[in-house]
Structure 1
Amino acid sequence: MLQSSSTDTTTEQTKNDEINFERLVAPQAAPRKYKVVKFNLLTFGYGHLAALYGLYLACTVATWQTIIFHYIIYTLAFIGITAGAHRLWTHKAYKAKMPLQIILMVMNTFAFQNTVVHWVRDHRLHHKYSDTDADPHNATRGFFYSHVGWLLVRKHEEVKKRGKFIDMSDIYSNPVLMFQKKYAIPFIGTLCFLLPTVIPMYFFGETLNTAWHITILRYFCNLHGTFLVNSAAHLYGNKPYDISIKPSQNLLVSLIAFGEGFHNYHHVFPWDYRTAELGNNALNSTTWFIDFFAWLGWAYDLKTASDDLVQSRLKRTGDGNNTWGVKIL
C-alpha cells in the first residue's frame, strides 16, 4: 500500500508539473543558441557524400537486379514507417494482430529512423505541440531545420522537458517493439545495412564498393522522403480543413511518402487510419497496404472520420479549397 501511495503521489505531481508549463501557441520559436552534435554532423555529412557517389554508381555500373532489390527494400522500409511507426503505433488509428506487428517491425527496421520507441515519442510530442519549441522538428524555424537541421543539434529544452510527460505505456508494454529496442544495434545493423550490401555482392555480382554505396543511397532516400513530411508538408500547400495551422496538403509529398502528404487533414483528424478522407487513395499506398491486411483479418478496428464530420470541418475552418487544391464553389 505504501508503494501504491508513493506512485499515486508521483503521478499527481507529474500532472501538476505539466499543468504549470507555459502555454505554447503555434507558430512559435523563441530565440535559441544551437549546440551542434558533431557526431551527427559527421555521419550525415559522410552519408550524403556516399549517397551521391551511390547515385553515380547506380547510373553507371550497378546491375538492374540491384536497383530493383533496393527499390523493394525502400518500399518496405517506407511502409514500416507510415503504416507501422506512424499510423499504428503513434496514433493507434487501427489495431494489428501479432503477425502483422512483427512484419511491420521488421519493415520499420529496414528504415532505421531510430527505434519505434523513439520515433513514437517524438511524433506524439510533434502532434501535441506542433510548430512550437516543444515540437522536435519545429517548422516555424524553416525548411532546413524541420527537414534535417533538428537532428544536427541538441534537442530544445522544451522538447526534453515536455517529452517526459508523453504517455508511452502502450509502447513499453508491446513485446514486439521491446524486442526491436533491446536488439537495436545488431538487428538494425543487419537488416538496414549488412544484408542489403552482402546480398547484391553474392547474388548480383556487385563489388563491395558498389553494393555499400547503393545501400547508403537507398537509406538516405528513405530518410529524405520521410523528412519531407516534417518540412515541405508543414510549409507548402493548401489548407482545406484548418487554415489556422501550418500543416498543409502537399500532393508531391503524398506521392513520395506513400500517402503522408495530406497533412492538413492528418493534423485535424490524426486518428484516421487513412490520413486522408475517403476517395483520396490515389496517392495513398499506405492505406492500400492496411486495407489489404484488413481484408486478411490481420488489421482491424480501423478508425475513420465520417464524411459528415469531414465536410463540416472543411466548411467551418478550411481555406475554401478541396484536398487537391481546387477551389470549392
Structure 2
Amino acid sequence: MKRIIYIVLGVLLIGAITVILIKNKKSITEKEQVIDRSEIPVTVKVYHVDSVKINTEFRLPATLAAYEEAIISATTSGTIKYLDFDLGTRVTNGQTIGQIDVDQKQLELKSLELTIEKLERDYKRNETLLKGDAISENEVIESKYDLDLKKIEAEKLREQIADATISAPITGVIVEKSKVKGEYLTAGEELGKVVDYQRLKAKIYVPESKVFKLNKGMKVLFTSTVYPTSEFSGTITYISPKADANYNYPVEISMNNDQGKKLKAGMYIQVLLNRDKHVKSMLIPKTALIEGVQTPHVFVVQNSKAVDTKITLGEEYGENVEVISGLKSGDEVVTTGQINLINGSNIKIINE
C-alpha cells in the first residue's frame, strides 16, 4: 500500500515540475520574441536647406623670402688682392667688388707678347727664305706652329687675368663674407653671398578645391603680424601643375618691397585670396553627413520618411559644408538621430 502511495506522489511531483517548466519556457519565448518597431517613428531634428550668400575669401600662411640670392665667387684661382665689400654693402649686377692678384700673370703675358713678336718676325723671314729655296717647307711649318702655340698661351693668360675680376652676380645687399684680402682662393670657391631684398616672394600651398580659382598674374593681398593694421599687395607668378603628397598645389607670389613699410625675409604673413567675393550656394551642417565627407550621403525627409540620399560636396566653411549636387532648396535633412535610421524609416521631427 505504501509503495502505491509513493508511486502516486512521484507521478504528481513529475507532473507539477513538467507544468512549471512549460510555463517558464512560454514566458522566456514571449520575452525573446522580436517586436516589430519598423512602424514606430524615430525622433529626429532636421535642417531646412536653402541657398545662402557665402564669402569665398580664404587665407593661407606663408613666410617671406628674398626674391633672389646668389653666391659670390671667382672663376680663377689665386691670392685675393682686395675685396671692396662688407656686410650690408649694396651692390649692383656686374659691379666690380674684388680682384685676384694677377701681377705675375701680367708679367708672363708681357713676356709671351715679346716672344710672339719675335716668332712673327721669324715666320715672315722664313716665308721669304722659302720663296728663294733657302730653307725647307718644314721649317716654315714649324715656325708657324711655334707662333700659333704662343698665341694660344697668351689668350689663355688674358682670360685668366680677366677672370680675376670679382663681380656682383645680382643687385642686392651683401649678407655673408667668408674671405678677406690675402687669402688664397680656388676657382669657384664661395667668398660671400648677395641677396635681393628689393623684391620678395612667398610660397603658399593651395588645396586642389581652390587652386582652380587662381590665375598667373592675379593680384593678391597679404598681412603681416609685424604690421597688423596694414595690407600689402603681391602678384601670383607661378602655379605648380603638380600637387604635393597632401593634394596641395605650390603657388608662388612676388612683391616689390617698396610699399611704405620695410618688409624682411623671414616675416610670417597671411595671404588673402578671393577677397570680397560672394556667391550663392547651399550649405548644410556637417552633422547631417551620415558617414563623413569621404562618402557623403544624408537622410532627406520625404513624406515623413527618411530617404538615404547621396550628395556631392564642395568647400567646407567651419561647421558647414557646401553641397554641389544631390539636394535642392526646400529639402529637409536629418541632423540628429541618424544612428537609429535606415532607408525608409518613419520619422518624427522635433525641431521646436
Same-fold call, TM cutoff 0.5 = no
Q: Is the radius of gyration larger for structure 1 or structure 2?
A: 2
Q: TM-score range by the shorter chain?
A: under 0.3
Q: What's the TM-score once normalised by structure 1's chain length? A: 0.20
Q: What's the TM-score once normalised by structure 2's chain length? A: 0.19
**Which structure has the highest strand share of the two?**
2
**Which structure has the highest helix share of the two?**
1
